[in-house]
Structure 1
Amino acid sequence: MQKYVELIKKSYSEYWEYLKHEIIFPNHWDNYFYGLILISLLVWGLEILFPWRKQQSIFRKDFWLDTFYMFFNFFLLNLIVLIALSNVAEQLFNDFLGLFNLSTTSLKLFDVSVLPKWQGLFIFFVVADFIQWNTHRLLHRVPWLWNFHKVHHSVKEMGFAAHLRYHWMEPVVYKSLLYIPIAIIGGYNAQDVAIVHFFNIAVGHLNHANLGWNYGLLKYIFNNPKMHIWHHAKVLPKGVRFGVNYGLTLSIWDYIFKTNYIPHSGRDIELGFDGDESFPDDFISQELYPIKRK
């Protein structure tokens, strides 16, 4: 037990020092703090220059709430719980494997470091996105997970910052399901993860932005604003119970597994979910909603 207590203390200390360094010394290209700000400003600028819903305010409904969510979920949440939880979970998993004289190294099916860099990044990106597509489906299909995911679907006007409005439990679910499959593929480093992560953030921001883009033929590969707007539609298609267009970065999974749905321009459709009239509209109440929900 003492080992885990010390690990938790070390996790808090190291992440706090890391976060301070990110803010004070923005002198490296994979700086998450300023990278998030830069991507957000660029996509917001595109919204302002090329708005799809021209009547929508630049500072749309819940703009500042979503901006707070963006920084809370990307940085403060890691400081408060996720890094410590992740490190402890990893140690528990390693200790469990140790009971059988195994390690994460022995579980690796192959090492992408023997491949050209672009191939290794491509494998990591595709595997991770497919796992997250399936995780996203679970968030809609499992009732207690859906109560957490309602926070994201409480957005009533779409904009780039809505991308990172989600309950803190969501990354716990995503990272838990992503850990083991990624663990069996070795050869990645922090810069590899940063490249994929920044790309995913940029596409996620664009998907939620007030932009009427679908990328032409690339819409069958990459998720886009005209597709993702239907994922947030309050009224689901007839015969559909759990939702459509689950893609995060890639849309191809929806086309392969027939969960794609774009009947017409969704520019002015109502967003939300059934019963969202009674859903809380402040951060604390939204975070507590799944706990209070019977």
Structure 2
Amino acid sequence: MFSARFSIMTILHLDHSLKFIDLRNQYPGLFPLWILLELFFGMGELPLFWGLLLIVALGVGLYLVYDHKRAHFENEHAHFTLSAFREYAFPTQVFSSLDTRSDLFMMMMNGVILKLPFLAALYATTQVGPWITEQLKTFLGTYRTTNVDSTWLVRGGYLLAAYLVNDFAQYWSHRLGHRIPWLWALHRVHHSSSELSFLTAFREHPVFLFGQAWVMALSLSLLQGLTEYFAPGASSALDLFAGTLFSYVILRANFFFGHFSRPLSYGWLDYWVISPSVHRVHHSADPAHHHFNYGSRTTLWDWMFVTLHVPSREELEQIKIGPGENVDQGLDSHPKAQRYRSHPLYTLYWEPTLLSIKSLIKG
């Protein structure tokens, strides 16, 4: 997905191009926090990986402490122990598999491959918001001559709008990744695993990730440009920074936890947010489960566009994870399709690229 390390670097060091305020001078008290954030994200995916791993461990621990008296857990483990926790959170069968090694490999490779392309994309998109504002003024005239009072309520509303707009953009970019053959040739790498773990979140073709980075950056830039035109002063570079960071962290954490090895349910919250059990349906090899649950954070857009499916406990127990042809149209009949289950550099990077190009040429 989108890399926050470059969004932070771009906004802090290229804020003059945004035609907004200088964050470091305007908010000097927060500068140490920015330094820590930039060090945290600027070092690559590993710090983020360990941070999210800690979140998963704490979340699972709290869940098991709350849930360990339920029958399905007591049947496996008579008492709550650290070894029981380890096996529940990090099953040996999953984390000793070839899939897990492939996930780790892709996490390292993508962190290296995407650094410069992400930075280039984000530098370009910092121009989009101000450009949209200027174009609207040119063609429609000035909508408002005075600035809106930037209260916490106004800024909070802007951050909520940024969250929902980006969630909408991510929903459709993901859904199109399943419907358009040349995009599916890239995204199917993510669905090639026969096991789910939080490391599956890192299993993605870099070209598809790069495209989603543009989707996230452009959607937020579009909102920023429209906001500055219709309500000047309602948002600032700080809001753009906070909106980008907030959207990214929530997206990454939920995407990370959504691939948890166990089909954890949030109960009634499954109808509002993407839980591990809800996202598990999306990775099912069963054709009956195809074309559901494209959301990355909330289920709002799945519900609105009739792609939401919240599984029952009985249904979850029957779900098998695998590289089933979870696609509306595409390269299903290609003789090399099953090779996505192997994990050399060729099948995870080069072959998907070739298949995508061939599909794009064929139209």
Q: Give the TM-score band, short-chain normalised.
A: 0.7 to 0.9
Question: Contact 2:175 / 2:294 at 8 angstroms: preserved in 1?
Answer: yes
Match of 1:76 in 2: 112
Question: Contact 1:235 / 1:273 at 8 angstroms: preserved in 2?
Answer: yes
- Please report how far the alpha carbon of residue 228 of structure 1 lies from its aligned counterpart in structure 2 after TM superposition: 0.8
Match of 2:348 in 1: 286
Match of 1:8 in 2: none
Aligned length: 267
Q: Deviations over 1:206-265 (max 9, x none)?
A: 11011332211111111011111111112221xx7x621111111222122221232611
Q: Deviations over 1:119-146 (max 9, x none)?
A: 3322211110111101111000011111
Match of 2:293 in 1: 245
1:176 counterpart SS class: helix
Match of 2:163 in 1: 125
Which of 260, 274, 279 is 1:209 aligned to? 260
Summarize the Cα distance change of 1:118–1:126 in structure 2 as closer, same or farther, 3 Å threshold: same
- Please report how far the alpha carbon of residue 173 of structure 1 lies from its aligned counterpart in structure 2 after TM superposition: 2.3
Which of 276, 284, 305 is 1:225 aligned to? 276
- Residue 174 (structure 1) aligned with residue 236 (structure 2): no
1:51 counterpart SS class: helix
Question: Contact 1:40 / 1:161 at 8 angstroms: preserved in 2?
Answer: no
Distance of 1:267 and 1:26 partners within structure 2: 46
1:185 counterpart SS class: helix
Question: Contact 2:285 / 2:322 at 8 angstroms: preserved in 1?
Answer: yes
Amino acid at match of 1:40: L
- Residue 65 (structure 1) aligned with residue 102 (structure 2): yes
Summarize the Cα distance change of 1:86–1:121 in structure 2 as closer, same or farther, 3 Å threshold: closer
RMSD: 3.8
Distance of 2:321 and 2:209 partners within structure 1: 27
State TM-score, norm by structure 1. 0.74
State TM-score, norm by structure 2. 0.61
Counting only pairs closer than 5 Å after superposition, residues 162-201 of structure 1 correspond to structure 2 as 162-186=200-224, 187=235, 188-201=239-252
Distance of 2:95 and 2:252 partners within structure 1: 21
Uncovered stretches (5+) of structure 1, i.e. residues with no partner: 1-10, 19-24
Question: Contact 1:113 / 1:120 at 8 angstroms: preserved in 2?
Answer: no
Which of 130, 134, 150 is 2:188 aligned to? 150
